[in-house]
Amino acid sequence: MIADLKPYPAMKDSGVPWLGKVPANWEVLPNRALFAEIKEREHPDEQMLSVTITKGVIRQKALLQNSSKKDSSNQDKSAYKLVCPGDIAYNKMRAWQGAIGVSNLRGIISPAYVVVRQRKDCVSRYFHHLFRTPQFAKEAERWSYGITSDMWSLRPEHFKMIYCSLPAKGEQIAIVRFLDHADRRIRHYISTKQKLIKLLEEQKQAIIHRAVTRGLDSNVRLKPSGVEWFGDVPEHWEVVRLKEVTTSIEQGWSPQCDAQPASDDEWGVLKVGCVNRDAFDGLKNKKLPPALKPIPALEIRDGDILVSRANTRDLLGLAALAVKPRQRLLLCDKLFRFRARPERAESRFLVYAIRQRTSRAQIETSTNGASDSMQNIGQGVVRNLLLTLP
């Protein structure tokens, strides 16, 4: 798509670092010349809207349906700001992260948000695309103020100081048409690829399930397992509980850590996400502050089997094997750790067995927690998992 675009015959320096060069016939204007702030209130019965980083302005109902967030808006919504179709709204505290966009809806948003409306005869979706670029986000960050990044705020008076490029209206329409078309095509490609990935993941799980419950010989003689969900198993296999073929389970320590990962010569505490994929990911850790002493007994060792004990329902109970992990990684308290008894079981086989669907079903029926966003399992659930073992 990009390759088909023709270059402009003449370019000029915009005089604005974040814009760089722009077509010679484009204007470069401050937002104060393009937008007026809107503070219309007293519409408490309008639908609630939210401004998100990923999608821009959406119905709050849609946001709450797809997340663990709860409605934190005031019961009295008379002070909430009215947003009309074509208005641009942004979250002052998150504009530098991309929480800005044009609204296709009529509704109200938090008084803490900012609503602006075009002064000139412009195409609002042109600015929607412009304001959601990484380059604009960096410029919004430059104009945001606060003691820390969590408190940075892009105030309306500073938003108005930012300069933007403005093509003629006909060209704005053409740009929006091109970008919307490209967006639809890319979303279609992504959706198709995601469906393929899902099918391949299902196929992979079916192969794993077959291998760890029936083995590789399709002609093997079978016997009743005595467990309903296993059905028949190879006659020389046995049904065991995980505790019979592993060492005792332990869990770790989760002190207050720095957000960034530890370097190779620093101590880090693993994050629960280190077991989310098929392989152990030691990069998922947080740096242990120098003021805290590490607990050497909790250091991850080669051959450790790790299982998440606290996570969302679909990620709870996932397992991974630590294979030659880097030094100075500590077990966190959201992970269980144990090792295979070498005379009874092979570590990789156990990890596959824990991750396959009959084990997942056992785990999912034994979870507890206030919401799907954070579920827990006890040591007893993991220790008593039923597995088939050759």
Q: Which of 4-13, 81-90, 173-182 has the lowest mean pLDDT?
A: 4-13
Spell out where 156-302 has E strands: 163-166, 222-224, 232-234, 238-241, 250-251, 268-270, 285-287
- Residues 37-88 have pLDDT tens digits of 999 999 988 899 999 999 899 898 888 776 656 666 667 888 899 999 999 9
**Which range is least confidently modeled, 66-80, 180-194, 350-364?**
66-80
Q: Which two tokens stand for residue 361?
A: 């079903």
CA distance 291 to 285: 17
For range 256-261, the mean pLDDT: 88
* Whole-number Å distance between alpha carbons of 390 and 213: 9
Residues of the chain with CATH 3.90.220.20: 2-174, 202-389
Helix, strand, coil percentages in the chain from 3-state DSSP, rounded to 5: 30, 25, 45
- Report the greatest alpha carbon distance in the chain: 81
Q: Measured between alpha carbons, how far is 299 from 290 in angstroms, rounded to an integer? A: 16
Of 30-39, 58-67, 153-162, 319-328, the one with minimum mean pLDDT is 58-67
The predicted pLDDT at position 66 comes to 61
Q: What is the CATH number of domain 202-389?
A: 3.90.220.20
Residues present in the chain in total: 390
For residues 32 and 154, give the distance between their C-alpha atoms in angstroms, rounded to a whole number: 14
**Distance between first and last Cα of the chain:** 55
81: number of Cβ within 10 Å: 22
| pTM more than 0.75 | no
Burial of residue 318, with CB atoms counted within 10 A of its CB: 0-12 exposed, 13-18 middle, 19 or more buried = buried
Compute the mean pLDDT over every residue in the chain, rounded to the nearest whole number.
90
Is residue 92 a contact partner of residue 113, using CB atoms and an 8 Å limit?
A: yes
Is residue 262 classed exposed, middle or buried when 0-12, 13-18 and 19+ CB atoms within 10 A define those classes? buried
2-174 CATH: 3.90.220.20
Predicted pLDDT at 74: 66
Phi first, then psi: give them for residue 143, nearest 5 degrees: -95, 0
Instruction: Return the SS3 of 114.
Output: strand
